[in-house]
Amino acid sequence: MKKACILLEDGFYQEGLSLGADSETIGEVVFNTSMSGYQEILTDASYKGQIVCMTYPLIGNYGVNPQDVESSRVRVDGFIIKERSRIVSSWRAEKSLEEYLKQNNIVGIDSVDTRAITKRIRAKGSMKGLISAVDFDTGSLKEKLERFPSIVGRDLVKEVVCRESYLWEEATQEEEPKEKPTGTVAVIDCGIKFSILRNLKNYFEKIIVLPAEASLDKILELNPQGILFSNGPGDPEPVSYAIELGRKVIERLRNKELKAAVMGICLGHQILGLALGGKTYKLKFGHHGGNHPVKDLKTGKIDITSQNHNFCLDIQTLPRDLEVTHINLYDKTPEGMCHKNLPLFSVQFHPEAGPGPFDARYIFGNFKKMADSLS
């Protein structure tokens, strides 16, 4: 096995074994606390620009298959694990994790101290990092890291969105729809996960996915019952075209020129918050994993949720006609909001999971109920 190394922005350096492409990569290093679901994590477009460190020590034991993907290709910029599984044991597996990373030209490293990396990020915050299987000169690596731009202020959405609109047909396989799906939902793609589309298909007859730069006229041509702003990567503030689209949608709702329910998930939640006049800030080390407790402030119910974001809406900047509906019980940050007068709400967590618990899937049912109430 070939040697590889990792260098963090604060000077942390460690050597391990190359996992995937024998090359080099730079990105923001974050840790994910999920015990499984590595394929969904690898293909989640929200991780564009980031190197993911898995806290669970053994990764790859059930291999890789064509079903457990959240986008058309691997999206992470690098992958860090403690130990690769030497065996692949699943009837669904078609290849190993290592083969998958190599085929997708993704640089990874294993046999490193992921606990030490995670503790550094928790103490000092997310930071840039570099994985290399070709250069082991710490001076050279440090220069590359210093030249690499921060994730703050970069528009990463444009690197992951669809270029043309398309119709989504597949529903979830875990449960049958309780009622026949009806109506159309327009999905604004900022880095959409397939699991979100599958869940929407349980409630809506037509799921039309449009690029984040789509015009409002294009959306209105679909006569949608619902409009959803999707998850996506990085800093929301540079995604000005999606924010402006959100403003136009909200203006039509206020003027009663549009009868549609509007929902945001993760980055879509932040985009709607910015469109309504709020501000965002960068969290110290973000929320990444499948075990985040979120409290519904209306019911008192606590859901264990899947999360993946590094930025957050600032509660103090939200206008008075917005109500915070959910909070994260780890750090009390806002996890959901609704408009007091308009058919609009959003959540910071991922109700579709993929990977993670299904506690919050009811959110899609709430979206459909809101849409139906406007008919």
139, 143, 144, 148: CA torsion to nearest 10:
150
Cα separation values, 73 from 100, 104, 114, 343, Å: 10, 8, 25, 34
User: Out of 309, 326, 339, 350, which one is annotated catalytic?
Assistant: 350
The tokens for 209 are 């996915």
- Catalytic residue check, 350: yes
CA 25 – CA 274 distance, rounded (Å): 32
Interatomic CA distance for residues 204 and 26, integer angstroms:
40
Residue 350 has φ and ψ, to the nearest 5°, of -105, 100
Is residue 53 part of the annotated active site? The answer reads no
Q: Of these residues, 190, 266, 312, 338, which one is catalytic? A: 266
- Which one of 9, 70, 335, 352 is the catalytic residue? 352
Q: Report the C-alpha gap between 83 and 59 in whole angstroms.
A: 6
83 is catalytic: no
Q: Which residues of 159-177 are buried (b: 16+ CB within 10 A; e: fewer)?
A: ebbbeebeebeebbeeeee
Annotated catalytic residues are 266, 350, 352
